[in-house]
Amino acid sequence: MLVSYSSSSEDESDCFTAQRKRSNNITCQDDDDGARFCKRTKLEAVNSDKGNDQNNEVLHERKHGRLPVPDTVLHMFREEQWVDDSAKHGGRVRSFQHERGNWATYVFLPYTPDEVFLELLDEVRALAGSLDMTLTHTEEFHISLSQTVVLRHHWIQPFVESLKSSLAHIQGFPCLASRLNVYSNSERTRTFLGLEISTGHAQLTQLTKVIDRTMEEFRLSTFYQDPSFHVSLGWCVGDCADQLRSTCLPQLQNLLDNHEEGPFQLRVPCQELRCKTGNKVFSIHLH
């Protein structure tokens, strides 16, 4: 008896054909199970398409070197706007707007007060107060040798080095002051009472000319044409120059001239210049 066997490939083909028929029959049924199956297969197809689209977008961004930046990173470097509150520093008003990277800079001769000077200063402020003129104590005593200018941060070191080179040949000298005078800033927002330098004025003038050369090198404002060098004792807000001169100055000068130890004379040893830029202070010693 002869028995005919089909090949394995024919069996697999017949089985695959039967499975396709069963699958078509199931997906085309109108019953509830068939409907749910149809919806499920469509949803899977849609999700698959969406996933492919998203993958394509990521691949496109990677191909062009661009990836989405998270919001947390974007907000890390948001620059806060500076609000200047004059009430926090005695009503003083800035000469120029604060800007990140700008450093307020000036050159000066420092003066370290002694006990006699501080006691006399208290007497001067008390007398001015009795004459309806309130003076705020100066925080640091010095003789200004430049205007306050603006330096960018990367200019600071070259600027200081230029000053040191220009002043290398300057010798130190003494300064004396005994006469009171009244001063105002350029904006007329503050009025100062100061002791005007008499002895040493010519040397200070020569010193400012040397400093001006560095200012011109960096295209900054030079010092005043006819400066009155002085040490500020106190200040008040606003333009009070006329009132201070007419009401207070004669009596305050009389206080200094009739000091118990004789006419007061302020001595400032000019051996060291300082350049203050922002919160940094650089010393330049004279020979």
Question: Domain spans of the chain?
Answer: 16-63, 99-285
Is the whole-model pTM more than 0.75?
A: no
Whether 22 shows a pLDDT value over 60: the answer reads: no
> How sure is the predictor about 261, in pLDDT bands with cuts at 50, 70 and 90?
confident
Judge whether 75 counts as a catalytic residue: no
Per-residue model confidence (pLDDT) at position 255: 96
pLDDT at 17 over 80: no
Which among 230, 259, 285, 287 is annotated as catalytic? 230
- pLDDT over 70 percentage in the chain: 66
Segment 72-94 mean pLDDT: 51
Q: Is 201 a catalytic residue?
A: no
Over residues 24-42, the pLDDT tens digits come to: 444 444 455 554 444 444 4
pLDDT at position 287: 84
Task: Choose between 45 and 111: higher pLDDT.
Answer: 111
pLDDT, tens only, 122-147: 999 999 999 999 999 998 999 999 99
Is residue 18's pLDDT more than 50? no
Higher pLDDT, 148 or 261: 148
Active-site residue among 60, 137, 142, 154? 142
Count, residues in the chain: 287
Query: Domain 99-285 maps to which CATH number in 3.90.1140.10, 3.30.360.10, 3.40.50.620, 3.40.50.300?
Result: 3.90.1140.10
Q: When comparing pLDDT for 29 and 99, which is higher?
A: 99
Q: What is the reported pLDDT for 257?
A: 96
